[in-house]
Amino acid sequence: MSTDNNAGVMLTTTLADIYTAPAGGAKISLIQVANTHAENEVDVTVVWSNASASNLEIPFCSNSPVAVGDGLSVQAGGMILKPGDKIRARASAASNAAITVAVIEG
Protein backbone atom coordinates (compact mmCIF):
# COMPACT_ATOMS: atom_id res chain seq x y z
CA MET A 1 0.00 0.00 0.00
CA SER A 2 1.29 3.48 -0.89
CA THR A 3 1.49 6.30 1.63
CA ASP A 4 1.81 10.01 0.91
CA ASN A 5 4.46 11.80 2.96
CA ASN A 6 5.93 15.32 3.12
CA ALA A 7 9.06 16.89 4.54
CA GLY A 8 9.84 20.58 4.85
CA VAL A 9 12.49 22.69 6.54
CA MET A 10 14.22 26.03 6.45
CA LEU A 11 17.57 25.62 4.70
CA THR A 12 20.95 26.39 6.21
CA THR A 13 24.29 26.95 4.48
CA THR A 14 25.31 23.33 5.11
CA LEU A 15 24.11 20.51 2.88
CA ALA A 16 21.59 18.71 5.11
CA ASP A 17 19.30 15.69 4.87
CA ILE A 18 15.74 16.73 4.01
CA TYR A 19 14.19 13.33 3.31
CA THR A 20 15.38 9.71 3.55
CA ALA A 21 13.55 6.95 1.67
CA PRO A 22 12.23 4.15 3.92
CA ALA A 23 12.66 0.39 3.43
CA GLY A 24 9.93 0.27 0.78
CA GLY A 25 11.43 3.15 -1.24
CA ALA A 26 9.57 6.24 -2.47
CA LYS A 27 8.58 8.15 -5.59
CA ILE A 28 9.13 11.91 -5.61
CA SER A 29 5.99 13.91 -6.39
CA LEU A 30 7.37 17.42 -5.86
CA ILE A 31 10.38 19.37 -4.68
CA GLN A 32 9.72 23.10 -4.23
CA VAL A 33 12.05 25.76 -2.81
CA ALA A 34 10.79 29.20 -1.77
CA ASN A 35 12.80 32.36 -1.04
CA THR A 36 11.62 33.55 2.37
CA HIS A 37 13.84 36.64 2.61
CA ALA A 38 12.25 40.04 2.00
CA GLU A 39 15.26 41.71 0.36
CA ASN A 40 17.80 39.26 -1.07
CA GLU A 41 18.02 36.62 -3.76
CA VAL A 42 19.14 33.23 -2.45
CA ASP A 43 21.02 30.46 -4.26
CA VAL A 44 19.98 26.87 -3.55
CA THR A 45 21.48 23.46 -4.16
CA VAL A 46 19.40 20.27 -4.05
CA VAL A 47 20.99 16.83 -4.51
CA TRP A 48 20.06 13.16 -4.57
CA SER A 49 22.32 11.06 -2.34
CA ASN A 50 22.43 7.59 -3.90
CA ALA A 51 22.75 5.04 -1.08
CA SER A 52 23.59 2.19 -3.46
CA ALA A 53 26.58 4.16 -4.85
CA SER A 54 28.35 5.03 -1.59
CA ASN A 55 26.09 8.08 -1.14
CA LEU A 56 27.24 9.68 -4.39
CA GLU A 57 25.58 13.11 -4.55
CA ILE A 58 23.96 13.93 -7.87
CA PRO A 59 22.62 17.49 -8.18
CA PHE A 60 19.09 18.32 -9.24
CA CYS A 61 20.16 21.97 -9.15
CA SER A 62 23.39 23.66 -8.06
CA ASN A 63 23.58 27.24 -6.80
CA SER A 64 20.32 28.03 -8.61
CA PRO A 65 19.11 31.58 -7.90
CA VAL A 66 15.68 32.15 -6.38
CA ALA A 67 14.50 35.75 -6.55
CA VAL A 68 12.85 37.62 -3.67
CA GLY A 69 9.27 36.44 -3.27
CA ASP A 70 9.75 33.63 -5.80
CA GLY A 71 10.06 29.88 -5.80
CA LEU A 72 11.87 27.16 -7.69
CA SER A 73 10.29 23.89 -8.80
CA VAL A 74 13.07 21.32 -8.83
CA GLN A 75 12.55 18.92 -11.73
CA ALA A 76 12.60 15.55 -9.94
CA GLY A 77 8.95 14.45 -10.02
CA GLY A 78 8.56 10.76 -10.78
CA MET A 79 12.07 9.81 -9.69
CA ILE A 80 12.22 6.59 -7.68
CA LEU A 81 14.23 6.65 -4.46
CA LYS A 82 15.54 3.32 -3.21
CA PRO A 83 15.79 2.54 0.51
CA GLY A 84 18.31 4.85 2.19
CA ASP A 85 18.47 7.32 -0.71
CA LYS A 86 18.25 10.93 0.47
CA ILE A 87 17.26 14.35 -0.75
CA ARG A 88 19.73 16.90 0.64
CA ALA A 89 19.80 20.69 0.24
CA ARG A 90 21.42 23.96 1.27
CA ALA A 91 21.05 27.70 0.64
CA SER A 92 23.56 30.51 0.24
CA ALA A 93 22.20 32.17 3.40
CA ALA A 94 20.72 30.44 6.45
CA SER A 95 16.95 30.71 6.92
CA ASN A 96 16.48 32.54 3.58
CA ALA A 97 14.86 29.58 1.83
CA ALA A 98 12.39 26.83 2.69
CA ILE A 99 12.15 23.47 0.94
CA THR A 100 9.17 21.13 0.63
CA VAL A 101 9.50 17.55 -0.58
CA ALA A 102 6.38 15.45 -1.31
CA VAL A 103 6.71 11.71 -1.92
CA ILE A 104 4.67 8.55 -2.27
CA GLU A 105 6.22 5.83 -0.13
CA GLY A 106 6.01 2.10 -0.77
Mean pLDDT (10-residue bins), the chain, 106 residues:
95 98 98 97 98 98 98 96 98 98 98
- Tens of pLDDT, residues 18-35: 999 999 999 999 999 999
Compute and round to an integer the Cα radius of gyration of the chain. Answer: 13
Residue 89 CB neighbours (<10 A): 25
Domain locations along the chain: 3-97
Residue 47 CB neighbours (<10 A): 19
Question: Which pLDDT value is given to residue 1?
Answer: 79
Name every residue whose Cβ is closer than 8 Å to that of residue 38 and which is 6 or more positions away in sequence: 68
Q: CA-CA distance, 95 to 92, in Å (whole number)?
A: 9
